[in-house]
Amino acid sequence: MLTALIAILLAPFAVLTAFFVVEVAAGLRPNKARSVAGRPPSAVVVVPAHDEAGVIGETLQRLDSALGERMRMLAVADNCADSTAAEARQEGAEVLERHDSERRGKGFALQFAADHLADDPPDVFVVLDADCAIDGASLRALVDEAARSGRPCQSINLLRADRSASPLVQLSTFAFMLKNLVRQRGLQRLAGRVHLTGTGMAMPFGLFRASGQVHSSIVEDLALGLELAEAGHPSKLVSDAFVWSSGSNEKGTLTQRRRWEGGFIATALRQGPKLIRRAITRGDFRALFAGLDLLVPPLALFAILNLAALIVATLLTFVLGAETWPLVTHVALLGVAGLALFLAWLGEGRKFVTLSALARVPLYVLWKLPLYLGFARRGAPEEWLRSGR
């Protein structure tokens, strides 16, 4: 009976770890790029910005050079107390200014832009964050696929590699790549869908307008993707479209992770079990994979939870004299997960993190521990946090 209880204790962690291994393995192989041909659809690239003076000018300069035929850019200065709007106008962008102290956040800014565009709607609605860059080929591939498929489309969202940064920042950048490149590719192959990551995403304009009210969510992009998938419009990864943003220092990195990871965890706990329950009821394995992916925590938290479960199981096994097979099985599974991470580093991660920095994963986990303790005490943040530059 005690052995069975230990097996039950480890079972949720084993299932998610096994899925993580399968998903990473499925995402190691790059996708083939599609050719873009024919008359391009019309598109508006919306850049929501909150106090981005000193940043948005360069972003819009790069975006202007990437715009193709029948594309234009629209900046939304949302509750700004600086010169964001003026700098955006200097770069030739159409600018909307929004002031609403009670309804703050990126989702509200995007809805404000969509309402403005409703009288003369584009074919495709594109979202690019104010600190991100996309090249012309990527933007054209993203817009073309959204128009062709009629589905929400997500580019590969990455942080620029900086192997001279501190090991902790390098590891954070690697974890970001693992989530948004390797695991997104794996999820596309396993579930036929991916998660929206908020920047470098596009969809038919009418689909965004009909998407409902998810805009108060701190991770409105993730919530929007889940809502659209439930309505029969699963998001698709465009593997030859890339959007890049610069990394930050250690303090700024933690600030941004607090916003994104806190919101992600809250959304995952709320939506993941329901998604899995519906998938099992319907016999829909693809939706089951999507639900399992949603329940895989951020990498450092995943390591902490697995370690805690392993310590408890070890104590129960050797103090109370249970059989060791559940413990041995889980240790072996964690070893396979470590191998999968190493293969991901060999295939995609070497330009993001050095081998010496990779060896400091335990320090990275400890660095993130106060963040997760803060979530446990105070819950997820509710404000639109801006990372340090």
pLDDT tens by residue, 279-325: 999 999 999 999 999 999 999 999 999 999 999 999 999 888 889 99
Q: Are 27 and 341 in contact (CB under 8 A)?
A: no
Least-confidence region, from 34-48, 143-157, 174-188, 310-324: 34-48
Phi/psi for 199 (5° steps) reads -120, 145
Residue 388 confidence (pLDDT): 46
Phi/psi for 211 (5° steps) reads -80, -10
pLDDT digits (tens, 9 = 90+) for 257-271: 776 777 788 888 888
pTM value is 0.89
The residue ranking higher by pLDDT, 20 or 108, is: 20
Least-confidence region, from 33-42, 313-322, 324-333, 343-352: 33-42
Residue 383 confidence (pLDDT): 52
The residue ranking higher by pLDDT, 36 or 162, is: 162
Least-confidence region, from 141-145, 149-153, 164-168: 164-168
Residue 252 confidence (pLDDT): 65
Q: Is the pLDDT of residue 99 over 60?
A: yes
Q: Is the pLDDT of residue 97 over 90?
A: yes
Q: Is the pLDDT of residue 215 over 70?
A: no
Q: Is the pLDDT of residue 338 over 70?
A: yes
pLDDT digits (tens, 9 = 90+) for 22-36: 999 999 998 876 766
Residue 1 confidence (pLDDT): 82
Mean pLDDT of 342-360: 94
